[in-house]
Structure 1
């Protein structure tokens, strides 16, 4: 990556596979975003026992199309420098960047300046206008923090323990056992008129590859238009040490929309073509309209 600064432990950045689209194309483009980390030399300075120096974290992200025959990094700047952050895919394809510190490195007692503001990253916006800082939490989430997407579109955030044991008093950042739920703006009350419930397929439905699938959903009010509608599948992640294993989001698109009643619609989509795109297992299925998802259901790719 340009600059040559480390992004892996203990100069811990985070990475995410951006949403996979155009799934029926002969070749599907895959793009990765890597954010944060610590500058070269930060580890040695932070581990100096006589006079530790906690260098400020990196505020840059690198984005690269890994399927391109000649891949090149595109660099961006975050609103907040961060290491030990977590990156969580949201149902509408945006990325939540949360947790972490603004100085030091990952490990026991060597992170400083907690970053309390989450950030939303919108991959489809123009370069330079993709980041938006969110309201801050009051709880430092340092080393050993985590974040995971919930079925209702919130993100569950928890943990923080930069100590070898549980330490609740007499330390700079006590062990944190609490959980918080971050609600993105799409859960604001004024958005409640948009897609409200998936009625078909049923929860726990078993899906096949290349399956023509009808997704039925209800809305409380308002008109639904095909050009602002998508169906997404999100693989549940196993998140630790700033990396969400198994995480991916697939945009099934929307091929045909039919109004069934005043508040019920059906959209036709096609499931992914193979396990290379969507490995076997459970996914959260969401209907997204005007960038706003409503509660997802579990489906099982078989």
Structure 2
């Protein structure tokens, strides 16, 4: 309905809504947050929260998750503990995404969550004393809509805490930033992880991860990563110091910004890259509305490998991008050629705000995993 829900915080085992109304002008208790709070460590700040396709909230904190009906203040389902039992939330910061939502016309739309990295239990007090435990090298993946959901554990090529996960326009996931030992907090992580990793969720389970070229700037505590309209990822920050310290510390405060360019922006992919002609950017659409998208492409176009994706812009802090969400729009008919190297694809916007809450989205045409530059669309 366009409201925001604010969940958790230090010694804040509750949630509230913004903007407030007469019926929601309160703070509502959420015992799950108290149950997942570890003495001296917490391990449940910045919980991973996703709007499920049934309208309830998937909430992951520490090493476990619930499905929560925020309208009635009731836990609908308790999920199995993630195998291993190690925490994934601040300060043992992992990261998480809800994987792209597909088949939106289906009676039962499937939703999957991927949780990656973190730090072993006890990392925070040990790091405070100068002992830096190795970060976690596992991801947990779970179908949260399954009647009997179970975690599947996958091994990353690089262990990582304080990583950031960004859904790319083609549906792959970028894992970037962070450290290989220690934990989040002031000056208590070591061994920066300079190499990003791409995760391909649709690949066979033994071929989903691919290590990318390394960065040269450590992006430790208080780093960030967000998707840009041209398909690059804006990367910045790193301030593991209580004050802004630029010299005399192991990892100085860094105010620089960079752009990570995924391989789909390589020059050799240019002849596969679509360019959207219409509709114009910043137009408003309604739920269930059909839209005709015209785009140019080279003579190498494979019409069976064209899709349209819609990405909600995220808000990133402390290794989690809130509001991040991708939908693959259902096609209506075939891709038609309407001019010299000009094509039209017809798609239908989601039928409900449960799938796509109202607001602005980046809309991409993707051809053979190569995305166009996005246009902004507004759904209401």
Match in the other structure for 2:115: 34
Q: Does 1:149 align with 2:227?
A: yes
Residue number in structure 2 paired with 1:282: 360
Q: Residue 254 of structure 1: which of 331, 346, 349 is its match?
A: 331
Structure 2: gaps of 5 or more residues = 1-81
Alignment check: 8 A CA contact 1:226 1:254 kept: no
Structure 1 outlier segments of 4+, above 6 Å: none
Runs of at least 5 residues in structure 1 that lack an aligned partner in the other structure: none
More moved, 194-203 vs 283-292:
194-203
- 1:169 and 2:247 are equivalent in the alignment: yes
Structure 1 length as normaliser, TM-score?
0.97
Counterpart pick for 1:131 among 186, 209, 212: 209
1:237 aligns with 2:278: no
Structure 2 residue corresponding to 1:9, chosen from 87, 90, 95: 90
Shift of 1:44: 2.1
Match of 2:350 in 1: 272
Is the counterpart of residue 84 in structure 1 residue 165 in structure 2?
no
Please state whether the residue corresponding to 2:339 is helix, strand or coil. coil
Q: Which has the higher contact order (CA 8 A, sep 6+)?
A: 1
SS in 2 for 1:87: strand
After the TM superposition, which residues 179-218 of structure 1 pair with which residues of structure 2 at under 5 Å, given as runs? 179-218=257-296
**What is the Cα-based RMSD across aligned positions, in Å?**
0.9
State the SS of the aligned residue for 2:125. helix
Per-residue CA deviations over 1:12-70 (Å, capped at 9, x if unaligned) read 0000010000011122111000000011221221122xxx2000000000000011111
Say if 1:116 and 1:140, in contact at 8 Å, map to a contact too: yes
Using the size of structure 2 for normalisation, the TM-score is 0.77
Aligned partners of 1:154, 1:254: CA distance in 2, in Å? 26
Partner of 2:26: none
Tell me the distance in 2 between the aligned counterparts of 1:286 and 1:231: 6
8 A Cα contact 2:281 2:376, kept in partner:
yes
Alignment correspondent of 1:223: 300
Q: 1:66 aligns with which of 144, 148, 153?
A: 144
Equivalent residues, number: 298
